[in-house]
């Protein structure tokens, strides 16, 4: 009988341990939602289309009439180096300044965890860019959402489109001073016919602390996109010298620049 008490205490403890372990079943992870909120800004100001005049690094006044870009291949990274990768087929989004709903990217079924950063591609990766038409639905449909973001004569998506006006842009045939940057090119279909590759992967850390994804909760992550960086993120471009950049070598400069335009704003459980 001497040993009976400790044995029953032990068995009770074991029972409780097993119960607790079963309750917190690691084989059934729980999920939350992450909302990426893209905020297009010009320096410290919110971007407003058409009306507001801004000044770029070259001291040139400009207005923005259009800003669209593709965000794809999203990964949420954890401190241990692992990541939650958004399923490929559901990882293509077109952010348009003219469409506020498009600036909110909702990622559902994100495993509950603490995430320390995010990776994404600006544009449409080469694999998807050469996939058959049946795999180009939703944001990638050239007869739907992607209209205007697709080059039909040189098959491929436009990754980022910035259009506007500037007194420094030369007058076109109708007397308007427009500038336009249409940046695409994914590297080409074949090795022997390579093109420039303007795909850029953006890697951002949540500097203020991890983003907690909680069961059935929504975690908001604000990502700022600073238009000024498109002109001078790495190398300064002036509108006067480069009013139009599309399929040309200069497109690489713009891609390198806009790769620096993104930063993390607020991160919080809403």
Partner 1 sequence: MTRWQHVGILAAIVFYGVMVGCQNDSGKDGPIEPEPKPVEFKATPYNWKKPANFDDPKYDFTKNPLTVEGVALGKTLFYDGILSRDGSVTCAFCHQSFSGFAHNDHALSHGIGDKIGTRNVPGIENVAWKTAFFWDGGIADLDLLPISPIQNPVEMGDSLANVLKKIRTSGQYPALFKAAFGTEDVTTERFLKALSQFMLTMVSANSRYDKYSRKETGAALTDQEARGLALFKQNCSGCHTGEQFTDQSYRNNGLRMQLANSKDFDLGRYQITLNLNDYNKFRVPSLRNVERTSPYMHDGRFQTLEQVLDHYINDVQDTPQLDPLLKKNGKTGVALTAADKSDVITFLRTLTDNDFITDRRFQPD
Q: Which residues of this chain interact with partner 1, rule CB under 8 A?
A: 130, 132-134, 136-137, 141-144, 147, 150, 152-155, 188-190, 193-196, 247-249
> Are the C-beta atoms of 57 and 229 separated by less than 8 Å?
no
Q: Provide, rounded to whole angstroms, the least separation between the CB of residue 224 and partner 1.
A: 31
Nearest residue (CB) to partner 1, 145 versus 225:
145
> Of the two residues 232 and 252, which places its CB atom closer to partner 1 in the complex?
252
- Return the sign of the alpha-carbon dihedral for residues 257, 247, 61, 224: negative
Paired residues of 106 in beta bridges: 35
| Residue 145 CB, nearest approach to partner 1 (Å) | 9
Cβ nearer to partner 1, comparing 142 with 217:
142
- Measured from the CB atom, is 110 or 196 closer to partner 1? 196
- The whole-angstrom separation of Cα 164 and Cα 201 is 25
Give me the least distance between CB of 93 and partner 1, in Å please: 18
Q: How far is CA 12 from the centre of its chain?
A: 52
Where b means 16+ CB within 10 Å and e means fewer, 105-138 reads bebeebeebebbbbebbbbbbbebbbeeeeebee
> Cα–Cα distance between 93 and 105 in angstroms, integer?
7
| Least distance to partner 1, CB of residue 90, Å | 18
CB-wise, 52 or 99, nearer to partner 1? 99
> What is the DSSP secondary structure assignment for residue 9, as one 8-state letter?
H
Q: How far is the CB of 118 from partner 1 (least distance, A)?
A: 30
């Amino acid at each position: 009988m001497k040993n009976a008490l400790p044995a029953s205490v032990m068995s009770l403890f074991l029972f409780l341990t097993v119960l607790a372990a079963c309750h917190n079943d690691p084989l059934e992870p729980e999920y939350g939602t992450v909302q990426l909120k893209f905020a297009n800004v010009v320096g410290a100001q919110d971007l407003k289309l058409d009306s507001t005049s801004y000044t770029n690094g070259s001291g040139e006044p400009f207005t923005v009439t259009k800003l669209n870009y593709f965000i794809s291949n999203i990964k949420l990274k954890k401190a241990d180096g692992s990541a939650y990768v958004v399923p490929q087929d559901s990882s293509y989004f077109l952010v348009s300044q003219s469409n506020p709903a498009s600036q909110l990217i909702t990622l559902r079924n994100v495993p509950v965890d603490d995430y320390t950063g995010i990776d994404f591609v600006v544009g449409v990766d080469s694999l998807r860019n050469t996939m058959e038409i049946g795999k180009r639905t939703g944001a990638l449909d050239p007869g739907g959402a992607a209209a205007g973001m697709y080059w039909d004569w040189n098959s491929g998506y436009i990754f980022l489109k910035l259009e506007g006006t500037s007194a420094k842009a030369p007058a076109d045939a109708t007397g308007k001073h427009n500038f336009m940057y249409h940046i695409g090119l994914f590297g080409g279909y074949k090795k022997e016919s390579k093109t420039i590759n303007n795909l850029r992967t953006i890697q951002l850390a949540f500097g203020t602390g991890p983003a907690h994804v909680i069961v059935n909760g929504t975690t908001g992550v604000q990502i700022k996109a600073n238009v000024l960086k498109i002109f001078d993120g790495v190398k300064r471009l002036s509108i006067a010298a480069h009013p139009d950049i599309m399929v040309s070598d200069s497109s690489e400069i713009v891609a390198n620049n806009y790769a620096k335009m993104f930063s993390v704003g607020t991160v919080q459980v809403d």
